[in-house]
Chain A
Amino acid sequence: MSNQHLSPLRVPLVSEARTLGQLTEEICAPMERPPTWKWWAAFAIAVSILGTGAGIVAYQVGTGIGVWGLNKTVGWAFDITNFVFWVGIGHAGTLISAILFLFRQKWRTSINRAAEAMTLFAVMCAALFPVIHMGRPWLAFWVLPYPNTRGSLWVNFRSPLLWDVFAISTYFTVSAVFWYVGLIPDLATVRDRAKAGIRKAVFKVLSLGWTGSHRTWSRYETVYLLLAGLATPLVLSVHTIVSMDFATSVIPGWHTTIFPPYFVAGAVFSGFAMVLTLMIITRVVLGYEHLITIRHLENMTKVIIVTGGIVSLAYGTEVFIAWYSGNEYERYAFLNRAFGPYAWAYWTMVTCNVVSPHLFWFKKIRTSPAAIFVLSLVINVGMWFERFVIIVTSLHRDFLPSSWSMYTPTAVEVGTFIGTFGLFFTLFLLFVRVLPIISIGEVKSVLGFAREPGEVPADSGTRKPAHSAPEPLPAAQGSMAAPALAMATRKDVPV
């Protein structure tokens, strides 16, 4: 780790002294104890929302998407808004796991696993919307270029919608692989802790025979670095391509070249807000305040200030260019956004996304989990409205005033959206029960970060091992390390 070269100003990443064994125990504890009634209550709520959502989806697939509030002017609205919203949320995980890894931001180690899981679940929610939007979801495979009996009628590779198919499916696959590769060593830890039984059997298969061999670790580190290098441009490409769904069209308010960076910044902005929402609850419920520290929360709020600033700048640039272009349709699109019938949505967006992140300049707010929690929800509301404003206000008053119309979502559309939250939280609640939500191996590697070598307590032999395997022969002079460094056994530590 070569921590000896660190500045003395560095603060330890794990805020309380822990032994390696204690970390294993703490992080594995939630999976190994029976769920509390609070978990069951949360799970019951999530599953019932998911069930309702599934019923609503079944209804609209059975009836046809005429049950939505779309009309011939507004052909994209709630569904696409929700798609972009969820894809955006799905950007934080890979950003944390890949980009922060390349930048050697070691604080990422205790949040990357959960953030990546969140990414996967958010992308699943996102992918549902275009599939439902197809109207005949059983033909969803038509978006793939496969030889077919229709003459081999191929997909149109010049269409941004097809780029989306490739971008989202690649993103999901690579994120899932990245996540799983990161999990393998921890799955082995869980395997070795499990007594015989189904848990042992399942984790034995999942951990693929990981032994902790350094020859494997060495290759593993190379692969992890390569995947991070691949995932970094990938995550930027995904929302870039999503923004091209709009930017390559000729609709005033959509047809702008700043969309790719603007969308990517917005995605990171909303993704970090969602990570904060989840992590603030998780760290308290599972007692991980010393692993996911205030400093982690503070760092994420700083990312929010930056990305929020980029988003604000993009809003300003759009308005300026609309005026400066001299194009009357473009000008009208932006006047209509700010003062037209959807002005309430526009100003909600501005308040939530432009004004509220600036509260994070205050150290008091940055270090108060309650305040961050509220602001993270506000930002996600704002980012949802951003997509709604971009999509609906640009469409509802197009070039011909005779075709102007208004759009209101129906109960089916709102129900589908709420249903995806059911899916998201069901998956997340299952995840915190069945997998280690913090990367055990990575947190162990930063345990000594900014601590003197002797400061990391080593517990030698005093603890009863969790393994069924017999202890190896004690070394003849095994007392060398044991008494001097022995510290409280783990029974004294609440886990």
Chain B
Amino acid sequence: MSASVLIGYFDSEEKVLDATRAVREAGYALHDVYTPYAVHGMDDAMGLRPSRLTWVCFGAGLTGAAAALSLQYYTSVVSWPLNVGGKPFNSFPAFIPVSFELTVLFAALTTVAAFLIRAKLFPGNKRVALPRVTDDRFAIAVEPREAPADMAAAEDVLRRHGAVEMARVEVAS
């Protein structure tokens, strides 16, 4: 089944923020907002919850630290202990630099990978951006109910908040 989505185009971040708030207050389902740059305050306007990627980052960092310490412990104590001037095999302070680097490496790579997966960004992606939203237009995609009156009311909300152009698009839902 396909749904009809109403797209309103705006030319400034102030207007798109106002319009987004208005659309939500009017009770329409907000499909998404498309902007050429990260508009601050939009998270609140759209009612988005904070991303959970921070937890992925934390977990990956812990994994990296654990992996680095186990690798160093295994190679220096279990697999081939080398007696260097009677120093302890498990020379923990000397293991800190490598552990730190691997913590950062795991955390950074995993976070970015998780982000790309969650945002469905990958090479060969068939998605196409709306006209000019990567340049100088801000677009709100609203999902009003099918009734024509409802559609007209949604258009009216967008227009009152300064939409410069509008379009109706059928999207697979």
Contacts and interface: CB of A to CB of B under 8 A. Distances in A.
The secondary structure that dominates the A interface is: helix
Interface in B69-96: 71-72, 75-76, 79-80, 82, 84, 87, 91, 94-95
A139 interface: no
A216 interface: yes
Contacts, number: 258
Interface string A22-37: 0010000000000000
A465 B105 CA distance: 42
B1 to A, nearest CB: 22
A213 B133 CA distance: 9
Contact of A212 (B124, B126, B129): B129
Given A174-B104, A219-B118, A21 B35 contact: no
Contact of A24 (B11, B101, B135): B135
A152 B74 CA distance: 11
Nearest to B48: A218
B42 A218 contact: yes
B164 A212 contact: no
B118 to A, nearest CB: 6
Given A21-B135, A163-B98, A177-B112, A226 B129 contact: no
Interface stretch (B21-29, B51-59, B142-150): B51-59
A471 B13 contact: no
A189 B134 CA distance: 5
A237 B163 CA distance: 50
B128 interface: yes
A205 B126 CA distance: 10
A459 B137 CA distance: 10
A65 B44 CA distance: 62
A156 B85 CA distance: 14
Contacts of A444: 36-37
Interface residues of B, number: 83
Contacts of B11: 458-460, 481, 485
B11 to A, nearest CB: 4
B131 A469 contact: yes
A2 interface: yes
Given A177-B112, A208-B125, A460-B164, A448 B97 contact: no
B97 A154 contact: no
A472 interface: yes
A173 interface: yes
A214 interface: yes
Interface string A332-365: 0000000000000000000000000000000000
A154 B80 contact: yes
Contacts of A145: 71, 75
Contacts of B8: 475
Interface string A278-294: 00000000000000000
A227 B143 CA distance: 34
Interface string B90-117: 0100110110111011011101100110
Contact of B36 (A205, A212, A220, A234): A212
Given A205-B123, A208-B121, A445-B38, A471 B131 contact: yes
A231 to B, nearest CB: 8
A477 B37 contact: no
Contacts of B125: 204, 208-209
A473 B6 CA distance: 11
A372 to B, nearest CB: 30
B109 A166 contact: no
A219 B115 contact: yes
Contacts of A461: 164-165
Given A162-B98, A211-B129, A217-B42, A230 B80 contact: no
A1 B40 contact: yes
B141 to A, nearest CB: 9
Contacts of B50: 222
A482 interface: yes
Given A174-B105, A174-B108, A192 B135 contact: yes
Given A158-B84, A237-B101, A456-B12, A473 B166 contact: yes
Contact of B165 (A185, A233, A440, A474): A474
Contact of B104 (A19, A152, A191, A233): A233
11 contacts: A19-B136, A152-B75, A181-B115, A189-B36, A193-B135, A219-B51, A226-B111, A441-B38, A444-B36, A459-B11, A475-B8
Interface of B: 7-9, 11-15, 32-43, 46, 48, 50-51, 53-54, 57, 61, 71-72, 75-76, 79-80, 82, 84, 87, 91, 94-95, 97-98, 100-102, 104-105, 107-109, 111-112, 115-116, 118-136, 155, 158-159, 162-168
**Which 10 residue pairs spanning A and B have beta carbons closest together?**
A209-B125, A472-B167, A20-B136, A154-B75, A208-B121, A21-B136, A222-B51, A163-B97, A158-B94, A441-B37
